[in-house]
Structure 1
Amino acid sequence: MVKMDIAALHGFLAQAFPQVAQDYRVESVGENRLVMRLLVGDRHLRPGGTVSGPAIFALADVAVYLAILAMIGPQALAVTTNASLDFMRKPASGQDLLAQCELLKLGRVLAVGEVRIFSDGVPDPVARASLTFSIPPKG
């Protein structure tokens, strides 16, 4: 059952991470699923005008983080404990990136998510990521 909708996730991001909140927009949220957009700007680009690897990683990380919070509620101290990212092709120039996230496991202590990242409007993925998060104990 989803505990945080799109508006709640945007509010949480703006409150907890105001320095980057304007970079992201949650497009949809559902049971163990989330789609998120990176609003690509000049600061996300590397030489040559393509989206940088760190910006792509950040999108994957934030997407899994918010997918977890959507299911468990606002827990700012959930942290990434493992990440693997495969860069598969160059992002399309001038396009936002979309992260399609699925939580594969959501336990009491650990959550595992998989993300496929696409250039907006392009069917082939730019990157694929797998991330594990540690969820802090309640109380």
Structure 2
Amino acid sequence: MELKIGAEEMAEFLHEVFPQVRGMFGIDRLDETILIMRLHSDERHLRPGGTVSGPAMFSLADVAAYVATMCFIGKEALAVTTHCSIDFMRKPEAGKDLLAEAKVLKLGKALSVTDVLLFSEGSDKPVAHASLTYSIPPARG
């Protein structure tokens, strides 16, 4: 598969279509094989016990799958999540950003399937694993 959008253009597109998450995520790496995306973790992402909340981890996995898909199909703001399965495996380290390693496993005309591993920055042990499917709107006109 060949990238249609680079990291900088994708970051601008994400800010344009999702202004409510501006500054929350960053793209560390983007190429034909992998996307590494960052959740700039702060107090709003914590839950009692001082760890990153499940909803914050889901958000990172979901946005990473969306970005990975968009990079291959082009700017399609109306692609939507149709499936997500996430396994929370260990407690993320408090005070550290979370990183998502996303790989598009299958890209068809209607669906994109992406595998995402989440890590606390600096650790090689995943804190969560997610599998997401995105529905790609049919081409217009």
TM-score category, normalised to shorter length: over 0.9
SS at match of 1:19: helix
1:88-107 Cα distance to aligned partner (Å, 9 max, x none): 00001110000000000000
How far apart, in 2, do the equivalents of 1:48 and 1:77 lie? 36
In the TM superposition, what is the alpha-carbon distance from 1:30 to its structure 2 partner?
1.2
1:78–1:135: 8 Å Cα contact kept in structure 2?
yes
Aligned partner letter, 1:112: V
For residues 16-95 of structure 1, the aligned pairs below 5 Å read 16-95=17-96
- Name 1:6's counterpart in structure 2: 7
Runs of 4+ in 1 over 2 A off after TM superposition: none
Length, aligned pairs only:
139
Amino acid of the residue matched to residue 43 of structure 1? R
Paired AA for residue 44 in structure 2: R
Where in structure 2 are the equivalents of 1:95-110 lying within 5 Å?
A: 95-110=96-111
Q: Is the 8 A contact 1:32 1:67 kept in 2?
A: no
CA distance in 1, matches of 2:94, 2:130: 21
2:103 alignment partner AA: E
Q: Determine the C-alpha separation between the residues in 1 that align with 2:37 and 2:22.
A: 12
Counterpart CA distance in 1 for 2:54 and 2:123 is 18
The verdict on how the C-alpha distance between 1:32 and 1:71 changes in structure 2, with shifts beyond 3 A counting, is: farther
C-alpha deviations, 1:70-120, integer Å up to 9, x for none? 111100000000000000000011100000000000000000000000000
Mark the runs of 5 or more structure 1 residues left unpaired by the alignment: none
The separation in 2 between residues aligned to 1:93 and 1:57, in whole angstroms, is 16
Give the unaligned 5+ runs of structure 2. Answer: none
Calculate the aligned-residue CA RMSD, in Å: 0.7
Equivalent residue letter for 1:23: M
User: Aligned residues: percent identity?
Assistant: 53
